[in-house]
Structure 1
């Protein structure tokens, strides 16, 4: 099963390759026939893991497309249309996409690391420096944490806003990746300052001055780390992607890492598909956050309980969770997650659906999603070859 799933995943990534880079889906559905920043970079990581030169070239084209369409103030496109000679560029829908900026930096540096080419980073250094300046500006209060608008990242129809854990961690990863090449003491200090603020404001029983002391004291750290906080308080849903990044980057002390890893794996084991839900627990109609959730959609509402971001299960997110397990030497558990990703991707004759209803295992969203295939590729190769991401 695993070898067949891997072959099918490579085939889908090849079908999603265009002259401008990776497309989000092989199907021409909605706005998925576009080069997306985060989707494209995640597919690019799979390309590097595969060693397939055709896919690696597509990754390079993805980065070129994103860089070419960077806004003058530094914003990286959320997505770029490839349907016409005149590119249609989007920097976000209801709000701009903060994570497009960090994923772009990560993508350039991962490509350069794989190719052992400092010149590739130098090629895009102007764009990266503009990205870093923009990220500094998005702190607003110059206290080291990004302030992210509602709809401002991959969970674009969910309730996270303000100081979102996922985005802080992506920024740490991006800065570490870039600093691997430029070796700047200023960036080293910035990384330290951001991690310190993450540990102070998101971890249980932390010391140090909090952004929002009163709200922090009201948090019950029962489901891992909070997903975000803002002037209105903390949101405490478990964010699987954020926890995967937290564990990949080995932030916090080892006992906490071990506790979070166990909690996440236990949660995945209790679900019908054996996959970690994107956010947990789901928000229901009787919950106070329901109104915020139901109104945060530009077209149709998709965040029904157990679906999409609201407790749905994504192969892509679980791919990063599998990498986190590997980072902590939990090889057998990572194999279990890979098997479950492959079973999900194989549904309906390998339709590689975007996500699944965690309660019923019914497929949701767009079929032939490139990053669903990417999850299989980078986790399979991390388990079976010496492929390593730059962390």
Structure 2
């Protein structure tokens, strides 16, 4: 097939966003985005692997090296690293530390090594990975299998999720599975099983097993998807598109429940004008109990108006992972439809690759020329048309 213009534009943006230290979060000259970010950089790196572009793959390697070289002595991976001498060089998080930087780093190293067939790359960073894994063990706090994540502790850094956040548990499973592909360690194999069981017991309906918070579990009605998080204060029941996509990719949950997630997700995106899944749904409104968790949870300016940013906004990046989940479920036609919707969003204002969109008005939000918006197109395009597959 002829190479699609949307794909070429996405590749072009990734090239424009490279630096000697790795991928930048945006090609736009905005200080906080002109940095190498852990999660953004690894997601761009996953796109680089899918593209087969040697220069982009080299930038992925640079990204991982930058993150490893700036690992904190306690094991924390930087949220982001500045590339300018005029600003603070390393950040491990803003209002709270970023738990997902640790897991994305491990995933990145292992996916790079898998694709390039470079086992020595894992060996090179083995001590970094082991230190990171030990830190994740400590972040369980109660040693029962699930990470405890602070408010503002991951990519949804201005949203309401905290405590046992589904997304972070799933990223940890992916990180452990990726690493265990190389080391085949019995302890890690058991750990993967333990975490998976705890996810299924605490986030799935009518599950069998001792719950973390039995009373709170009995009070919520889990039906069509896994809720986004729970804590000692109870469950947050919003649909987390990223997390549920990861659950599908990792084949967690019964086939019947996985199909419920897919059916709910397709129905939801088809109801909305962009044809994209919102990051979290439904939105939190000013008269909702959780509004107080949103209104002050911002370092610079409030952005989480209903239907925008994390609060019901639609992100190309998130939809890229849902597209991969659809392919895993052999829903190829649906994945093609979704890729078209992603490409239409990325093409707004002459391919401005906006960070996210208002899910009702379709208005673009956030930073333009956002690299992980481009990564969504590349990952899904190559997975559909070149049958590229990640290590999961």
Which TM-score band (shorter chain)?
A: over 0.9
Write out per-residue CA displacement over residues 243-271 of structure 1, whole angstroms, 9 at most, x where no aligned residue.
00000001011011111111111111111
Change (3 A) 1:359 1:85: closer
What residue is the counterpart of 1:377 in the other structure?
Answer: 378
By how many angstroms is 1:37 displaced?
Answer: 0.1
Q: Does 1:363 align with 2:364?
A: yes
* Residue aligning to 2:321: 320
Higher alpha-carbon deviation: 255-264 or 31-40? 255-264
Structure 1 residue 365: Cα displacement: 0.2
Asked if 1:89 is matched to 2:90, the reply is yes
- Deviations along 1:38-61, one digit per CA (max 9) or x if unpaired, are 000000000000000010000000
What does residue 391 of structure 2 align with? 390
Q: Which segment is superposed worse, 114-123 or 319-328?
A: 114-123
Quote the offset at 1:222 in angstroms: 4.1
Per-residue CA distance 1:80-100 (angstroms, 9 max, x = gap)? 000129870000000000000
CA contact (8 A) 1:70 1:77 kept: yes
Offset, 1:335: 0.3
User: Does residue 273 of structure 2 align to residue 265 of structure 1?
Assistant: no
Check the 8 A contact 2:205/2:223 in 1, yes or no.
Answer: no
**In 2: Cα distance, 1:12 partner to 1:355 partner:** 16
User: Per-residue CA shift, 1:316-355, capped at 9, x if unaligned?
Assistant: 0000000000000000000011000000000000000000
CA contact (8 A) 1:304 1:310 kept: yes
2:12 aligns with 11
The residue that corresponds to 1:73 in the other structure is 74
Structure 1 contact 223–238 (Cα < 8 Å) conserved: no
Question: Can you list the C-alpha shifts for 1:106-151, whole angstroms capped at 9, x where unaligned?
Answer: 0000000001111110010000000000000000000010000000
Q: Decide whether aligned partners of structure 1 residues 224 and 256 sit closer, same or farther in structure 2, where only a CA change above 3 A counts.
A: same
What is the Cα deviation at residue 386 of structure 1?
2.8
SS at match of 2:95: coil
How far apart are the structure 2 equivalents of 1:92 and 1:86? Answer: 15
Residue in 2 that maps onto 1:199 = 200
Q: Does the 8 A contact of 2:224 with 2:260 survive in 1?
A: no
Q: Deviations over 1:178-206 (max 9, x none)?
A: 00000001000000000010001000000
Q: Given that residues 351 and 368 in structure 1 are in contact (C-alpha distance below 8 angstroms), is that contact kept between their aligned partners in structure 2? A: yes
Indicate if the aligned counterparts of 1:44 and 1:59 stay in contact, CA closer than 8 A: yes
Q: Give the TM-score normalised by the residue count of structure 1.
A: 0.99
How far, CA to CA, are the matches of 2:267 and 2:60 in structure 1?
35
User: Hey, what's the Cα distance between the residues in 2 that align with 1:185 and 1:87?
Assistant: 41
SS in 2 for 1:154: coil
Alignment partners' CA distance in 2, 1:363 and 1:171: 31
Aligned partner of residue 237 in structure 1, secondary structure: strand
Provide the C-alpha distance between the structure 2 equivalents of 1:30 and 1:276, rounded to a whole number of angstroms. Answer: 29
Compared CA separation, residues 150 and 46, structure 1 to 2 (3 A): same
Partner Cα separation in structure 1 for residue 227 and residue 260 of structure 2: 15
Q: CA, structure 1 residues 167+2, in 2 after alignment: closer, same or farther (shift >3 Å)? A: farther
Which runs of structure 2 are paired with 1:291-306 in the superposition (5 Å)? 291-306=292-307
* Cα distance in 1, alignment partners of residues 76 and 132 from structure 2: 7
Question: What is the match of residue 282 of structure 1?
Answer: 283
CA shift for structure 1 position 224: 1.7
Moved over 4 A (4+): none
SS at match of 1:227: strand
Distance 2:48 2:159 in 1: 29
Counterpart residue number, 1:186? 187
Q: Distance in 2 between matches of 1:28 and 1:152?
A: 26
Q: Please name the residue that 1:168 is paired with.
A: 169
Aligned mates of 2:41, 2:224 — CA distance in 1: 31
- Deviation string 1:9-41 (CA, Å, 9 cap, x unpaired) is 000000000000000000111400000000000
- The DSSP-based 3-state class of the residue aligned with 1:390 is coil
